[in-house]
Amino acid sequence: MIKPEITGLVLAGGKSSRFGSNKALATLQGKTFLHKAFTLIQPFCYEVYVSGNGEWYDISKYPIIPDIIPGMGPLGGIWSVMQQVNAKYLLVHTCDMPLMTPWMIRRLIEEGGGYEAVFWKQEDGKIQLFPSLFSIDFFPVINRMISQHEFSLNKLLPAYGVKMLEAKDTECKSFFNMNYFSDYKLLENNMPVDW
């Protein structure tokens, strides 16, 4: 898989209701979480977009693709972008996983070629939906789900052509998800120096 074949997507359209404010624009050590996610996947992609809906669009310096139909969650963002970009693969990440590493992104791309969708599976069996990789060939499956008003990404897991990458225990800290403000405080007090 080569860089021109990959478009990147950062999901930043969540309501952040548990966090209390827009997670995408929360800052740590002078960087927003949106910036961290965007710059993480940018080296692997020909182009990168941000997906979501919000009043912060006018202050964002990143290219935005709004949801065509708001309220469908991450699947709606993926569906909207797949209709508007010309790429063989869509690399999808989210703005609230600040400990994700370039190594995990590289593994996803290098081991995900030839599959229609690629997700992570931890050694304890837990499925991690992000970061993930989608082939444009998977678009009919997503389109069918949208037409049936089924918006859960978990429903994609049994589909034909889906690959589960095994994440080692030592890699699982990369999946830390910042859902609550207490998670942010935990990060603030234990942030790696190279963040």
Rounded Cα–Cα distance for residues 148 and 159 (Å): 15
Determine if residue 61 is labeled as part of a ligand binding site. no
Rounded Cα–Cα distance for residues 16 and 20 (Å): 6
Residue 29 neighbours by CB distance under 10 Å = 11
3-state secondary structure of 15: coil
Determine if residue 11 is labeled as part of a ligand binding site. yes
Determine if residue 12 is labeled as part of a ligand binding site. yes
Determine if residue 58 is labeled as part of a ligand binding site. no
Could you tell me how far CA 100 lies from the centroid of its own chain? 10
Complete DSSP assignment for 130-158 = EEEEEEGGGHHHHHHHHHTT---GGGGTT
Determine if residue 96 is labeled as part of a ligand binding site. yes
Which among 63, 23, 33 is positioned nearest to 45, based on CA atoms?
63
Q: Which residues are annotated as a binding site?
A: 11-13, 23, 67, 96
Q: Mark the binding-site residues for Mg(2+), compressed into ranges.
A: 96
Per the annotation, where are the binding residues for GTP?
11-13, 23, 67, 96
